[in-house]
Structure 1
Amino acid sequence: MIASNEYVIGVDYGSDSVRTIVADAHNGNEIASSVYYYPRWKEQLYCNAAINQFRQHPLDYVEGLEETIKQCLTQAGAAVAANIKAISVDTTGSTPVAVDKTGSPLALLPGFENNPNAMFVLWKDHTSVEEAAEINAHAGKFDTNYLQFVGGIYSSEWFWAKLLHVLRKDEQVRGSIYSFVEHCDWIPFLLTGGNDVAQMKRGVCAAGHKILWAKEWGGLPPNEWFASLDPLLDGFTSRLFKETYTSDQAAGTISKEWASRLGLPETVVIGVGAMDAHMGAVGGQIEPYYLSKVMGTSTCDMLVAPADEVEGKLVAGICGQVNGSIIPGMIGMEAGQSAFGDAYAWFKKVLTWPLQNILSKSSIVSLDVVKQLVEETADKIIPELSRQAEQLSIEDVGELAVDWFNGRRTPDANQLMTGAVIGMDLGTDAPKIFRAIVEATCFGAKAIVERFVEQGIPVKGLIGMGGVARKSPFIMQMMADVMNMPIRIHKSEQTCALGAAMFAATAAGIFNKVEDAMNAMGQGFDAEYHPNPEKVSFYRKRYEQYKQLGKFIEQHTNGGKKDEVLEPEQLAMDSEQLVMAVNSEK
C-alpha cells in the first residue's frame, strides 16, 4: 500500500494556457489546481494569422510555471508541499525554439526579446510549408526512407521544417543559434538547472514523432541527409542528441534555485517530458487498440499496441509510430486533425464580428454594457448552435463541409489544404452551417480510423478526452454515429496534467511502471455514447460525399499550390459533377 502522504505535480502546457495539478500519488485525487493564461499570447503578440505565424514567448511559459505551482501549493498547504515527490511536464508539439549553447532560448537574451524567430514556434505555425515540401521531395533520393516511422510524410508543423525556415529567414538568429529544442524537453531542463544543452535529456516522444530519431538507424538521419537538403543544416545534428529517454525516467532533480522559488524540497524528481496528447492518453487510461482522442483546438489521436503484435506494420500518412513514446514497451501511434475545436471557434468568431466591430462603436449603450453583451453572447453561441443543430432532422441536411480549416494533419499531412462548405442556399442559416462543420470534424476523425484499419491496425473503440469531449454531448453523439462505435468520455477534466502526474509518480519510483500508476491513479469514465442505428447508414453515405468533396478540393486547389493556374472550364465541369454526385446521395 502506498503511503497517502506522497504527492506529485503534473504540469500541462496547452496552446492558450498552462494547467497544473497536485495529485495524491495513492489514488490520483486532485488536491489543488491552477490555470495561467499566457498574457503575451492572449494579445497575439509575435503572431500573424494571415501568414499562419504563431509564436510564443518563453516568459509566458516560465511565468506560468512558477505562478501555477505556487498557487497549487498555497491551496494544498505546507504539509503537502513538504511531501511533493516529483514533477512531470507535457507540452504542445512540435513546438521548438532556438537556443544558445547553455540551452537558453534566444528570446531571453539581449537583442532578441521581440524577435518572433527567437521564440517557440507553436505547433500550429505553418510558415514552413515550403520547407516541409522540400523535405518530402528530398527523402525520396535516398535508399533508406527516413520518413518511414512518421507516416511517410513530413509536416510543416514539425521540428526540421521549422528549423530550416527560421535559419533561412533570420540572419540574426542564424548567427546565434547553437541548437534547437522542443518545449517538452526544455521545461525539465529548466527545472533541473541545466546550463549545457548537450546534457539535456530529450524524450523519445518528440524525438521519434517529430525529429526523425529512430533506433533502426542509430539515432538521427546522417549529416549528409540534412547537408544535401540545405547547407544551412550541415553539422547541425552534432549539436542535437543521440540518446533518448522514455517519460517514466527522471531527467534529474529540481535545482536549488527552483526549489527555493517554488517552495519545494530539493529532493523533488523531475521527469522526462513528453507531448501533451501522449501523457493525456495515459491520464485517460488508454488501452491497446483503443483510439484515445484528446479533443481541444486540434485533436491528437493516440493508439498503443504490443510491439510483437504490430511488428513490420507501418501505417502510412499518420504522425508516427514510436516504441515507448506513450507507454514504455509498446508502440505508440499518433494521428490527429489540425483543426477541431478551432473550426468551431472560427465560426464563432465569424458570428461575433458585428458585435466586436459595430456594437463596440455604439452610441446607445456604454462600453461596459457592450463588453458584457459581447462576452455573454460569445459564451452562449456554441451551446445554442449545438441545441438548434441537434434539432435538425436528416431531411434538413443539405450543407456539406470539409474540416481542413487549418490544413490537414492526417491522413497524409498537407497543411496547404483548406476547408470548405458547399450545398448552401437561401435557407441556410447558422445552425445548419455549424452542423455541417461538426459533421466534417467527425468525418475527419473517421478518415483516421479508416486508415488504421486499412493498414492492419484494428480500432476496438474510442476514448474521448479534453474540453470538447466533456462539454458537447451533441458533438460526441455525432462522433459515435459517424464512427459506428461507442466512445467513452474520461471523467478527469485534466487528463493531460493527470497523465503527467502519473509519469511523475513513476519517475520518482513510487510505481514500477506507468501502467501501475495508471491503474492506481486513473479516475475512470463518466459518460459513454453509443451509435444510433438509424443514423449510421445515413452518415455512411454522407462520409462518401465528404471524401468526394475532399478529393475535389485537393485536385482543384492543386494542394494549395498558388503558382499553377486552373482552367475555368474544367473547374466548372468538375464542380457540376461534384454537385450532381452529392445530390444523388440525398
Structure 2
Amino acid sequence: MAPTYLIGLDFGTDSARGVLVDAATGAQEAYHVHPYRHGVVTGRLGPTPLPPGFALQVPADYVEAAEAILRAIGAGREVAAIGLDFTASSPLPARVDGTALADTRPDEPHAQVKLWKHAAQAEAERLSTMGGAHLANFGGKLSGEWLLAKAAEMAGEAPALWAETARFIEAGDWLVWQLTGREARSLDFAAYKAQYLGTYPDTGIPGLAGRLTPPQPVGTAAGRLTDAWSARTGILGAPVVAVAVIDSHVVLPAIGATAPGTFVGALGTSAAFLLLDAETRPLPSGLEGAAFGAVLPDLWCAEAGQAAFGDVLMWFVRAFPRGATIAESFDAYTEEARRLGPGAGGLVALDWFSGNRVPLADANLTGLLLGLGLQTTAAEIYRALVEGLCFGTRAILDLALAAGVPVGRVVMTSGLAHRNTFLVQVLADVLGRPVEVPDVENPTALGAALHGAVAAGVVPDFTAAAERYGARSASLYTPDPGAAVLYEGLYGEYRRLAADDTLRTAMRALKRARR
C-alpha cells in the first residue's frame, strides 16, 4: 500500500517553504524553498514611488510559490492534508470571487498585500483613541501592523480602490481560498489581528463589516484541494486543506508546547512570543493581546513580540561585513563576540530598530546604541546588539511574571534559535532561566502540516499531533551564574533607557527628519 503524506506550507517574509511528512512514520521526506519573485516591495512599486514605511508584497507571488512547492514535494504522492501558515498581519483587498485587486491594479500600492512590517501607525493611534470593548484584551490600543489599521489606511487614502474591494482578507486566508475555492477565514488571524470576539468591532471604517466574514477555529477543514490545483501540482487524492494559522503560532504542536505555563518564542526576522495559560486573567500590562481558544482549543494565549530581531543582526553584518558572504560575516562576528564578556566595551543597545511593539506599540521609535568610544570594536557592537535583543525578550517575560502568570518552561524555536547558539546562551543568561530549543527540523512548516493532520482527522487533536509527530528531544541552555549577575546590572540600564520619555521624543523627531 502506498504511503500517505501530510504537507505543511510556511509563508515567510522573503520566501515560502514546504515539508512533506509521512503520515505513518512522521519522517520528513522532502523539503522545498521558493523565494518570492518580487520579494518585499519598498521604495517603488513599478513606476509608482512608495511613501516611507510602505512594505508590500504581490499576491501572485504566493500562488507561484504554493504551486512550485506543492509540485516539488507532492507530485505523484497521495496526500491526506495540507496546512499552511503566514506572516501576520498581511491583509489584501479582493473581489467577491477571491480575485486579488492587485491582479488588475498592479501599480496601485493599496491593492497589494500590506506586509506585517508595514505599519499604519497614524490610523492605529486614531482608532485606539476611539476606545471600545474590542480593545479590552489588547491593552487598550491597536498596532499599526494589524488589519483594522491597514483597512482604515486603505479606506482613507484610496477610497476608489476601497469601493472596489469586496473582501479585505489576511493573505493566509486568501491563499486557502485559492487552494480550495472556498473562503474560510481563520479565528487565529481574526482574533489577534482584527480583534474578533464573536463579532468584528465597529470602528467606523466605511463598509468594513461587509468585507469581513466569520472565521473558523484552527484545526478545522477549510475545504479540499480543488481538481484544478491537483492537476497543476500532480498531487493525488483530494487532500483536506486546513484553515490558515499565524506563523509564530503554528509551531506549538511541532515543538511539544501545548500545555499551560509555557513561554514560547519564535525567533526570526522579528520575534513573536506566546504565553499559554489555563486561567482567565487580565492581560498583563504592556503585552499586545490575548484570546481564548484561537491558538489552541481551551487555552488562553497572550501574545507579544519584538518588531525587529534577526533583522537587527542582518542589518549589522550587511553594513559592516566581515566575510565574502553573509554567512561568513555572521560566523566571524559570532565567534569573536562569544570570546567577549557580558557588556564588553560598556555598551547597551535598545532593540527598537523597527519600532517597539511591547509595551509601547509605537512604530516611530528607533534603535539606540549607548556607550560608544574610540576603542569600541565591531565585535563589541555586535555583542551589544545581541544582548539588547535578549533584554527586550526579558522585558516581555517580566511583564507576564509581574501579572502573576505562571511560567514553568521557556521554549525557543525557529531560525535563529537553531542557528545561533551564542544568542540562545546569552538569552538564558539574561533571563536567568533554562531555555529549551526543541530538536526538530523545519518546526514552522511541520507545525502547519500538523494543523492539516488535525483538520483531516489523521489525529484527534493537537496534543495527539505533538505526541505523534512533534519533537522528541530538546537542546537545553542553562544560565551561567556569573554572567547572569552581570546582566542584572546591564538590564537595569536597558530599562532606564527604555523608560526615558526624552529619548523617545528625540527618536520620533529624528525619524520624521529622515523622511
Give the TM-score range, shorter chain.
Answer: over 0.9
Shift of 1:45: 7.6
Distance change (3 Å), C-alpha of 1:176 and 1:42: closer
Taking structure 1 as the reference length, what is the TM-score of the superposition? 0.83
Partner of residue 522 from structure 1, selected from 458, 470, 475? 470
The answer to whether residue 297 in structure 2 is matched with residue 328 in structure 1 is yes
Report the equivalent of 2:114. Answer: 121
Distance 1:524 1:45 in 2: 45
Partner of residue 250 from structure 1, selected from 194, 214, 221? 221
Report the equivalent of 1:220. Answer: 200
Once the two structures are superposed, the pairs formed by residues 45-194 of structure 1 within 5 Å of their partners are 46=44, 51-74=52-75, 78=76, 81=77, 83-109=78-104, 112-126=105-119, 128-139=120-131, 144-194=132-182
Distance 2:392 2:366 in 1: 13
Distance 2:461 2:232 in 1: 30
Shift of 1:530: 0.3
Distance 2:429 2:159 in 1: 52
| Structure 2 unaligned spans of 5+ | none
Shift of 1:564: 12
Partner of residue 484 from structure 1, selected from 415, 425, 432? 432
- Cα RMSD between the aligned structures? 2.3
Greater gyration radius: 1
Distance 2:201 2:404 in 1: 27
Report the equivalent of 1:555. Answer: 502
Report the equivalent of 2:277. Answer: 305
Q: In structure 2, give the amino acid aligned to 1:297.
A: T
| Structure 1 unaligned spans of 5+ | 195-199, 228-232, 356-373, 566-586
SS in 2 for 1:515: helix
**Equivalenced residues, count:** 509
Shift of 1:560: 5.1
Distance 1:251 1:377 in 2: 42
Per-residue Cα deviation, 1:237-263 (whole angstroms, up to 9, x for no partner): 13312x321121000111111111111
Distance 1:495 1:560 in 2: 37
Native 8 Å contact 1:153 1:317 kept in 2:
no
Distance 1:170 1:176 in 2: 10
Once the two structures are superposed, the pairs formed by residues 450-461 of structure 1 within 5 Å of their partners are 450-461=398-409
Report the equivalent of 2:385. Answer: 437
Native 8 Å contact 1:304 1:326 kept in 2:
no
Distance 1:493 1:123 in 2: 25
Shift of 1:271: 0.5
Distance change (3 Å), C-alpha of 1:252 and 1:167: same
Shift of 1:534: 0.8
Distance 2:472 2:274 in 1: 18
SS in 1 for 2:499: helix
Report the equivalent of 1:582. Answer: none
Shift of 1:396: 3.6
Distance change (3 Å), C-alpha of 1:397 and 1:8: same
Native 8 Å contact 1:295 1:340 kept in 2:
yes
Once the two structures are superposed, the pairs formed by residues 274-423 of structure 1 within 5 Å of their partners are 274-286=245-257, 287-306=259-278, 310-352=279-321, 376-394=324-342, 396-423=344-371
Per-residue Cα deviation, 1:87-126 (whole angstroms, up to 9, x for no partner): 11100000000111222210012xx022221111100112
Shift of 1:175: 3.3
Q: Give aligned-pair identity as a percent.
A: 29
Q: In structure 2, give the amino acid aligned to 1:11.
A: L
Q: In structure 2, give the amino acid aligned to 1:113.
A: P
Distance 1:5 1:49 in 2: 49
Shift of 1:435: 0.7
Distance change (3 Å), C-alpha of 1:157 and 1:394: closer
SS in 2 for 1:41: coil
Distance 1:44 1:378 in 2: 22
SS in 1 for 2:282: coil
